[in-house]
Every structure is written in structure tokens, then in C-alpha cells.
Amino acid sequence: MTYMRVSTGVLALVAMGACASVAQRPTTEWLNDKPAPWPRTTDGRIERARPLVVAAEFELPTDLLLGLIWVESRFRPDAVSGAGARGLTQLMPGTAGDMAERLGLPRHAARPHDPSFAVRAGAAYLRLMLDKFHGDVNTALAAYAAGPGRVRKRLRKDGGLPSRARRYAGKVQRARRRFRPAPRGPSGPLS
């Protein structure tokens, strides 16, 4: 009888653990569903990514995140940089793992080539950079590209940003314009 109680308790704990691990996995992984193929055209990729960006919960301007994705990957989820950064938001594997943990996922759940994960993780990382650099968008973008340590060191040394990181921030700021909503007239949107 005692053996039976212990076994039932162990089974219950194992079942609870299995449920918890299933709940943390992306839905498509445990259902073995494959997401629809990513569009081949630039406009198609942008439109496919837009709902993911709008859903980002990190209080970032949509045009800023879209501009960052444009500069980083041109909305190609399979993009890989020469340095090894991956996905739409071009996260390095270690950074992707760190962001997975910040999102409440295990490190091994970091999937930089999965557009949903990449947008959330990239948004989380950009928010982290904005918070570290007191909301200064250009410095946060420079830190996103060059790393916060390198940017801080350069700021302490001479008060400027590394030139490559400064150019990167400028590219993202210019790309933002592409994704800003059209201005509205006094009577609403133009037909």
C-alpha cells in the first residue's frame, strides 16, 4: 500500500513536470506542425513579420523594431552574419539564450531562426539596451550592434560611440522612416 502511494505521487510529479515542459515549448514544436513557409518577396516578408512586431510587449515603437529588423536581416529569418548572429533580429547564440531566460524560457528554447522567438528576443534585448542607456535610442542601437560593454568603454574614453556602431544606429533610424504610418489629414486618412 505504501509503495502504491509513493508510485502514484511520483507519477503525479512526473506528469506535472511534463505538462510544465510542454507549456514552455512553442506550440508548433510539440504539435509537430510546421509553420507556413516564409514569403520570398521583401514585401511579403515584411507583412508576415508585422503582426509579430506589433505583438512585442516591450513598449517599443513599432517603426523602431521594424527598422532594426530591416537593417539586421531584411526580414529573412534564415539570415546568418559572418560573426554568427542569427535570425530576423540577428542575435548571437549566447544573447539569444540570455533573452530566452528573460522571457521565462529555458536557454535551450532559444530559437533565433524562429521568427516569433527572434522578434520577442530582439525586442527584449533592445528594451534592455534602452534601459541601460537611459532611453537614448542611438546609444541603445549602437550597443545592440557592438555590445554594451564596448559602447560603455568608448563613452568613458572619449564620450563618443564606436564609428561602426554609430553608422549602424543611423541606418536603423533611416530605416524607421520606411515603416512609419502615413500622416493623417485633418479629417482622417486619405482615401
User: pLDDT tens, 153-162?
Assistant: 999 999 999 9
User: pLDDT tens, 144-180?
Assistant: 999 999 999 999 999 999 999 999 999 999 999 999 8
pTM of structure: 0.77
User: What pLDDT band is residue 189 in, cutting at 50, 70 and 90?
Assistant: low
- Give the amino acid at 155: L
Q: Which of 29, 47, 59, 72 is catalytic?
A: 72
47 is catalytic: no
Residue whose C-alpha cell is 486619405 = 190
Could you tell me the three cell numbers for 167? 553608422
185 forms beta bridges with 188
DSSP-derived 3-state class of residue 142: helix
Beta strand extents in the chain (DSSP E only):
none
Name the nearest CA neighbour of 123 among 56, 190, 75: 56
User: pLDDT tens, 4-46?
Assistant: 444 444 434 334 443 443 333 343 443 445 667 889 898 999 9
Ordered by where they begin, the domains of the chain are 36-179 (1.10.530.10)
135 DSSP assignment:
T
Name the nearest CA neighbour of 128 among 55, 58, 56: 58
User: pLDDT tens, 68-109?
Assistant: 999 999 999 999 999 999 999 999 999 999 999 999 999 999
User: What pLDDT band is residue 54 in, cutting at 50, 70 and 90?
Assistant: confident
Measured from the Cβ of residue 119, the count of other Cβ atoms closer than 10 Å reads: 24
pLDDT at position 47 over 60? yes
Name the nearest CA neighbour of 137 among 171, 167, 164, 173: 173
